Chain A
Amino acid sequence: MSDDRPDQPPSDEPAEEPRQPSAEQPELERPEGEHRPQWRQTLAILLSNRAAAVGLVVLIVMVLTAVFADQLIRFPINEDNIANRFAPPSADHWFGTDDLGRDVYSRVVMGARVSLQVAAISVTISLVAGTLLGLIAGYRGGWLDTVTMRAVDVAFAFPAVLLAIALVAVFGPSLRNTMIAIGIVFTPIFARVVRGSVLSVREDLYIRAIRSLGASDGRIILRHVLPNVAAPVIVQTSLSLAFAILLEAALSFVGAGVQRPTPAWGLMLADAQRFIAQGWWLSVFPGMAIFVTVMAFNLMGDGLRDALDPRQRTLIEARGAGGGEDE
C-alpha cells in the first residue's frame, strides 16, 4: 500500500472478524421502527379517509344485503297483487308497492343481488382480459403493443353505452349477455391502465436488478410487474364497479339488459317512469339504491388511490401515522 493515498475513513466494523454462526454479533442491524404488515398500513390509511370509510361501510352493507336477500325480503318478489297496487310506504310495505302490487322493498333488496352480481362478473371479465392484454402489450412492446392499442383506441371511440347496446343487440338480450357485453366494453379501460403502468414499471431499476439474477420473463411479470401495477388496477376496479352498475341500469332502462320480471334496479327505474304520478316511491328507492352504491364505489376508489400510493404512505408515516386528510 502506498502511503500517498488518501486515508481510508475510519470504520466501526472490525476488519478481521471471525464469522461463526454461534459467535455473538452485536453489530447486526435492524431497521428502526416497528414492523407492520403492508396491508394493515393500507387499511389504516384507507380508514383514516372518512369518505372512503363511509364508502366501505355502505358497500359492506350492500354486499351483506345481496348475500342475505332471501332472508331480508318481506314478500315474494314476483307475486302480483293488483288489489294493492300503488300502495304508499307503510309499516307493511316499507317502500310501498308498484304497478302490479309487488313489494318495492323486497324487489330493491333482491335487486342488490342482481346488480352487484352483474357488476362483479362483468368487471371480473374485463379485469382479467384487460390485465392480460395490457401486461403483454406493455411488457413485450413492438407490433403486439401497436395492434392492441389500436384496437383499444377504436373501442374508446364509441360511447360505452352505445357499444354495450350494440353488443347486446348482437348477442341477444339476457342476464348473461349483459354481463359479457359490459365485460367487453370495460376491457380496453383495464388494458390501457395496465399497459401504462407496465411501461413505467418495466423501466424501473429493480426489474433490471432481478433480471440480473437470472430471472425469466415469466417470473418477472408475475412476481414483480403484476404486484407493482396492482394499485391502479384495484382503483380502476372500484371505479368500474360503480360504472358497471350504472351501465347495467342504463341497458335495462332501454330494454337491452336484464329482462322482466327479474328485479334489477335499472329495470325497476325504467318501469317506474311511467307511473311517476301514481307513486314517487316506485322510482325513488331503486334510484337511491343505484346512487348510494355507485357513490360508495367511487368514494372507495378515490380512497384506495391514496392508500395504495407509496408516496402517500411515507408522507403519513412521516407525520406520525394516522391523520389522513380528505382531499
Chain B
Amino acid sequence: MSDALVTVDDLSVYFPVGRRRDGTAVKAVDGVSFEIAKGETLGLVGESGCGKSTTGLALLRLVEPTRGSVTFDGIDVRELSARDLRRWRRRAAMIFQDPYASLDPRQPVGEAVGEALDIHDLHQGKQARRTRIGELLERVGLHPDVAERYPHEFSGGQRQRVGIARALACEPDFIVADEPIAALDVSIQAQVMNLMAELQRDLDLTYLFIAHDLAAVQHVSDRIAVMYLGRIVELADRIDIYRSPQHPYTQALLSAIPVPEPTRERSRRRILLEGDLPSPMDPPSGCNFRTRCAEVFEACGRVDPALAPVTDGHEAACLLHHDQGQAVERSHHPDAREHQKA
C-alpha cells in the first residue's frame, strides 16, 4: 500500500522481568508488522494480555519499542529526538480504555482540553482559548459550560467524551483508540462508537481501533488484525475475515459470536479454546498457538509460521496455509483440505 499513513515493521516490545538482566522478559509484542492507510480504521483484536495496548503504546512511543520500526507519514518515529517527538505527538493521539483513570482528578475537564491547546500553541489569547475549549466539548456532545467541572462529577461515557475532545484538540491525523468503550455501560457504548465514526468522517481521521473481541470492531473497521500472544496471526478485510477466517484462532473467536440469522445460527458450532494462555515470558516453540489449537500437527512444534498472504489482501500465520522454512505434509492433516477450500 503506497498511501499508508502508518507503517509498522517487526515491532517488538519486551519487558525485562526482575532486577537482574538475565534475559528473561515478557514478550508483550513480538515482531508485529502492519500498515494503516490514510482514512482507514484498522481493528486490532485479541484476548486480554496478548499485547494490544502495548502495540498501540509502542506505536506512539509511549512505551519504547525493543526492536522494529514505526513510520508515520514518512517520519521514522523511533528516530525522533525528545523534542521532535513531543511535537509529533500532536499528529497522533491516544484514547484510553479507562476513562476514570485517564483524566487528572485535580484538573477541571476544560483545562484538560485546554492543556492540549497550550502544549502546541493552538490558540491566540484567553478568549480564543475558552471559545475553542467550548467548541471541542460541544463537538463531543458536552455542554460548553461544564468546562470548570472535575472529572469525578462526570459519568464514564461523559469522561470518555472529554478524553476524545482532548485528543481532538491537537487536531491529530491518527488516533489509537485502546478499547475506548470496553469500560462503558452497554447503553453508552453505541453513542461513543457513533461519535468516533462521525469524527472520522468529518475530520478525515485514521484509527487503530483496539478491542477485546471481533464483534466490537466489526462495524467500525475496514480491516482487522487478530493478535495472539504478541503476534498478529491473521490480517484481512473485515468482511473476508468474517466470511472465511483462515487461522484456527480467528475461527475460534468467531465461533463465539452469535449470528443474527436463524439458519446460520443453528448450524454455528462453537470451537472452544482448550487450555490456558501460555505465559508471554516463555511462549511455546514453533507456532505460538499450537498448545490450544484444534488442528495442531507435527510441524507446528518445529516451525514458527510468519504472517503470509493466503489470498489477495488476506494474511494468516498458520502452517495449514503455507509452509515457512520447511516442507509441511498437509495431506497428513485431515482438516487441511477443508481449510484450503474456504
Contacts and interface: CB of A to CB of B under 8 A. Distances in A.
A227 to B, nearest CB: 5
A9 B264 CA distance: 20
B138 interface: yes
Interface in B137-160: 138-139, 141-143, 145-146, 148-150, 152-155, 158
B243 A2 contact: yes
A25 interface: yes
Interface string A203-243: 01110111111111001000110011000000000000000
B257 A6 contact: yes
Interface string A11-39: 11101010101000101111111010010
B62 A219 contact: no
Given A4-B259, A19-B139, A214 B89 contact: yes
Contact of B141 (A28, A38, A314): A28
Interface stretch (B3-11, B98-106, B315-323): B98-106
A150 interface: no
Interface string A141-160: 00000000000000000000
Contacts of A227: 104, 106-107
Nearest to B87: A214
Contacts of B116: 213
Interface residues of B, number: 66
Contact of A228 (B104, B191, B258): B104
Nearest to B134: A21
A141 B97 CA distance: 27
A22 to B, nearest CB: 11
A210 B186 CA distance: 27
A319 B14 CA distance: 46
B239 interface: yes
A40 interface: no
Contacts of B103: 206, 209
A310 interface: yes
A30 B98 contact: no
A261 interface: no
A8 interface: yes
Given A206-B101, A209-B96, A213-B89, 14 more contacts: A4-B259, A4-B260, A6-B219, A8-B219, A11-B194, A13-B194, A28-B141, A29-B142, A31-B149, A35-B153, A206-B105, A208-B96, A215-B86, A310-B152
Interface of A: 1-2, 4-13, 15, 17, 19, 21, 25, 27-33, 35, 38, 204-206, 208-216, 219, 223-224, 227-228, 310, 313-314
Closest 10 CB pairs of A and B: A214-B89, A205-B101, A9-B190, A214-B86, A11-B190, A31-B153, A28-B143, A209-B102, A227-B106, A212-B94
